Amino acid sequence: MPDQLDRMPVLYLSHGAPPLADDPTWTRQLADWSAALPRPKAILMVSAHWEAAPLAIGATSTVPLVYDFWGFPERYFQVRYPAPGAPELAAQVRGLLADYQPSEHPDRGLDHGAYVPLVEMYPTADIPVLQISMPTLDPAQLMDVGRKLAPLRGAGVLIVGSGFFTHNLSAIDMTGTAETTPPSWSAEFDDWGEQALRAADIDTLLDFRHTAPAGRLAHPRTEHFAPLFVSLGASLDRPQPQAVIDGFWYGLAKRSVQFN
């Protein structure tokens, strides 16, 4: 077993919508973050935008991206990210998650929860990337997935949970500017989450629908918070994170953290 100091960190990031590419502050933050990380041998993405049970393993070769959005200008549908496939990583994942009887989806490319941040963090697209689905939104089960994936860290794999720290598109105004003052429910949830993470209060985080202020407003559905629990599970021996990105984007908390 590699020494703890040799392990890759684990990330939870707020991935943004396709227009993130037009935000010079956020794109710089993501680029600076990746530049400070050890270079991964492969990247394993768990995105808010792929729920499938049983747990599914995406394409292990380079296939077209999944443009799982609508209403944006055509240029966002022209983005490409031809990262190499990761068949060896897929084989490791199948072994580690055998209890979940993973299914294969060889034609399923990276969705925007995966490729939007990767375009900014690793723009040369030269690191193998594999995406797996969330088989459930249950926090405890997702933490179990993360625990089982944790050995990959010692093999140079960067595990990334990709969501959004607050996510209620029906309660924000996207016609303003990205720097608009966040609504109280978003700011309060973000502050609660920062404190719970800093304290490594796993029980409070697991029960966020009841313990967080405005939890149901911040996450009417929980799929954008759910990837955090995979990341937590993969880092439970050292759960205290380093906050790398904070602040708000059109009122949504873009808090992103690194578990070393």
Three-state SS across 200-212?
CCHHHHHCHHHHC
Angle made by CA atoms 163, 93, 162, in degrees to the nearest 5:
5
H-run or E-run covering 189: helix 184-198
Q: Please give the pLDDT value at position 239.
A: 66
Q: Please state, in angstroms and rounded to a whole number, the distance separating the CA atoms of residues 23 and 116.
A: 12
Q: Give the domain ranges of the chain.
A: 4-259
Structure tokens at 87: 């068949």
Distance CA 178, CA 182 (A): 10
Paired tokens of 69: 């959005």
Looking only at the bridges linking them, the beta strands covering 256-259 and 10-14 are antiparallel
Would the pTM count as exceeding 0.75?
yes
Contact 17, 112 (CB under 8 A): yes
Q: How far is the C-alpha of 254 from the C-alpha of 246, rounded, in Å?
A: 6
**CA distances for 26 relative to 45, 137, 220, 247, angstroms:** 19, 27, 25, 10
Q: Beta strands 242-245 and 10-14: pairing type?
A: unpaired
Reported CATH class of domain 4-259: alpha beta
Q: What is the pLDDT along the chain (260 residues), one digit of tens a residue?
A: 334 457 999 999 999 888 888 999 999 999 999 999 999 999 999 999 999 999 999 999 999 999 998 788 899 899 999 999 999 999 999 999 999 999 999 999 999 999 999 999 999 999 999 999 999 999 999 999 999 999 999 999 999 999 999 999 887 877 778 888 999 999 999 999 999 999 999 999 999 999 999 999 999 999 999 999 999 999 987 767 889 999 999 999 999 999 99
Is the distance from CB of 181 to CB of 76 less than 8 angstroms?
no
Q: Taking a C-beta distance cutoff of 8 angstroms, is the pair 225, 165 a contact?
A: yes
Of the candidates 60, 259, 39, 41, the one whose C-alpha atom is nearest the C-alpha of residue 157 is 41
β pairing state of 242-245 and 256-259: antiparallel
Q: CA neighbours within 13 Å on the CB side: how many for 79?
A: 30
Pick from 140, 139, 162: which is nearest to 44 by CA? 162
| Whole-number Å distance between alpha carbons of 171 and 217 | 8
Helix (H) or strand (E) holding 232: helix 227-233
Instruction: State residue 1's pLDDT score.
Output: 36
Q: Helix, strand or coil for residue 230?
A: helix
